[in-house]
Amino acid sequence: MSTNGDPSQLRNPDSKFYPGEDDSIQSMDGSSPHDNVDHSSKLNQSVLSNVNHIDSTIVDPTHKQEPPKEPTITALQKDHGRPIVTMRELLSELKNGESSAALVHSKEIKHHREQSSVAMALINNIGGSDEGQSRHRMLKFAAKRYASAIERNPDDYDALYNWALVLQESADNVNSDTNSPSKDSLLEEACKKYDEATRLNPALHDAYYNWAIAISDRAKLHGRTKEAEELWKQATKKYEKAVQLNWNSPQALNNWGLALQELSTIVPAREKQTIVRSAISKFRAAIQLQFDFHRAIYNLGTVLYGLAEDTSRTGVPVVGHAVSSSELYSQCAIYIAAAHALKPNYSVYSSALNLVRSMLPLPFLKVGYLTTPPVLNPVAPHSDWKRFQFVLNHEGLVQIHDDEQKQMAKGIPSISGDKTTNVRPAIRVDIPDVVSVTTCSDLTLPPGPSIFIDTIRGPIFLIADSWEYLDTWLDAIQLVYTIFARGKTDVLAGIITG
């Protein structure tokens, strides 16, 4: 079973704002998460040329010739004959056209100079420590360079994009007061540059990604206000555009989920659950692209925790799914435990795990029901398939017979132990044997959400009680395998057995 490794991070959607503490992580106490940038090549521009039709007049030799006239050019016009334009008139038009173009170009340059002045004034007002001043001088030099490039060529979208990045980084340098007007103004100017760059090159996905981050940073400055709500909505649309242009970006999907999660805390209660479900789907999509993406794993845990809190407070299960608050708490704990197992040195993960560890079905990571065929007979008639309890820990997935549940409370027998001692046969999947875990659509299976586990010993088919439970089973098995593949099985074992 393949897993994805950590990508290198330098100015691409994997990386913006990547300090020692993970900036895209939201703590369980509800503090706002920071978001996690990439250069696109220029697009070829096609130019259409118009063809002028030149018409010559036939002269009758028997007719008395008039004095020679100036050369003429006739332009064909639909249903309007052939009006004659003299060369003098044409030259006059060309001269006027050049004057108009020069005037427009002059206005563009003036407009960009005015914008440059505003942006440079904001950058010049930034103060900070000696280290910050050194960084500030570099950003100031870069800003002047990109401003000059845009004055020379207002259509240089690369310069506009890079200038926006400089403004955004300059906003990060504003550390005297996080609510400083200059910080918001710098971010607003950065957004204007992203807007101009994407108008010139609509395929610039990295610009949409960083534009969304800038808008999100502005929203954080505005707290829980109507303006912040509108900014969060704008940010989600920009992340959506970035993902449309580059679907293979778990970082964009993760940040999109974070923006939706923040938006859900501001909107009216009737809109909240729909937005939360959308955030969950974005985090899950990010994990499917990168199984060891611990930020998205942790963030999925936090959004499920919030959903569990809401369900517990209202007493109303999730709409469309009979999922209780206790089940949601248990699901939340799975993701937080997995994030901690992948990054045990992250204090945020450790603190969150201390809060939710007791919500796990210890000594297991997950316990639930799945419908399965008789052992060794995967093509049995549908009537022979039965619903059994299954348990999952760091070693594997095991089917439990009803009268064995108390005995199995002590844990799954060791993989290295003698498996022939079981009186009755049971389905057992050892994690090292897993090749892949996916959903399955097969008409030969009983109706319901199907799981296909491909192992070195053969395929295994299981049916979940609902699509909600299917997602959790898939994630849990994939996460346990990913933790095994990353050599962190002992950490997970310590969580659920310690």
Residue 164 in 3-state DSSP? Answer: helix
Verify that 370 and 479 share a domain, yes or no: yes
The phi, psi pair for 378, rounded to 5°, reads -65, -15
- Of 275, 299, 323, the one marking the end of a domain is 299
Verify that 282 and 153 share a domain, yes or no: yes
Verify that 206 and 241 share a domain, yes or no: yes
DSSP category for residue 430: E
Burial of 448 by CB count in 10 Å (0-12 exposed, 13-18 middle, 19+ buried)?
A: middle
State the Cα–Cα distance between residues 318 and 332, nearest whole angstrom: 14
Verify that 168 and 210 share a domain, yes or no: yes
Q: What is the CATH number of the domain that holds 151?
A: 1.25.40.10
At residue 172, the pLDDT reads: 84
Verify that 160 and 304 share a domain, yes or no: no
CB neighbours of residue 117 within 10 Å:
11
**pTM for this structure?**
0.76
Verify that 126 and 163 share a domain, yes or no: yes
**400 bridge partner residues:** 389
H helix intervals, 359-488: 467-485
The phi, psi pair for 343, rounded to 5°, reads -135, 75
Domain range enclosing 263: 105-299
Give domain status of residue 52, yes or no. Answer: no
Q: What is the CATH number of the domain that holds 464?
A: 2.30.29.30
Verify that 459 and 428 share a domain, yes or no: yes
Verify that 222 and 117 share a domain, yes or no: yes
At residue 408, the pLDDT reads: 57
Verify that 287 and 308 share a domain, yes or no: no
H helix intervals, 269-324: 269-289, 294-314
Q: State both tokens at 166.
A: 């400089």
Contact present, 412 and 396 (Cβ < 8 Å):
yes
Verify that 310 and 401 share a domain, yes or no: no
The phi, psi pair for 116, rounded to 5°, reads -60, -40
Verify that 134 and 241 share a domain, yes or no: yes
At residue 182, the pLDDT reads: 84
Verify that 129 and 273 share a domain, yes or no: yes
Contact present, 448 and 464 (Cβ < 8 Å):
yes
At residue 443, the pLDDT reads: 84
Give domain status of residue 70, yes or no. Answer: no
At residue 9, the pLDDT reads: 35
**53 bridge partner residues:** none
Give domain status of residue 10, yes or no. Answer: no
Give domain status of residue 23, yes or no. Answer: no
Contact present, 450 and 459 (Cβ < 8 Å):
no
- Of 299, 314, 345, the one marking the end of a domain is 299
Residues 6+ apart with CB under 8 A from 143: 119, 120, 123, 163, 166, 167, 170
At residue 139, the pLDDT reads: 81
What is 462-478 written as a DSSP string? EEESSHHHHHHHHHHHH
Domain count, the chain: 3
pLDDT string in tens for the chain (498-residue length): 544 444 333 344 444 433 334 444 455 655 444 443 333 333 233 323 333 333 333 333 334 344 444 433 333 334 444 456 576 666 666 666 655 544 545 555 555 565 665 566 566 666 554 455 667 678 878 888 888 888 889 899 999 999 999 999 988 877 655 556 688 999 999 999 999 999 999 999 999 999 999 999 999 999 999 999 999 999 999 999 999 999 999 999 999 999 999 999 999 988 998 999 999 999 999 999 999 999 999 999 999 999 999 888 887 766 555 688 999 999 999 999 999 999 999 999 999 999 999 999 999 999 999 999 988 788 889 999 999 999 999 999 999 987 666 665 555 554 444 444 455 678 999 999 999 999 998 888 999 999 999 999 999 999 999 998 999 999 999 999 999 999 999 999 999 998
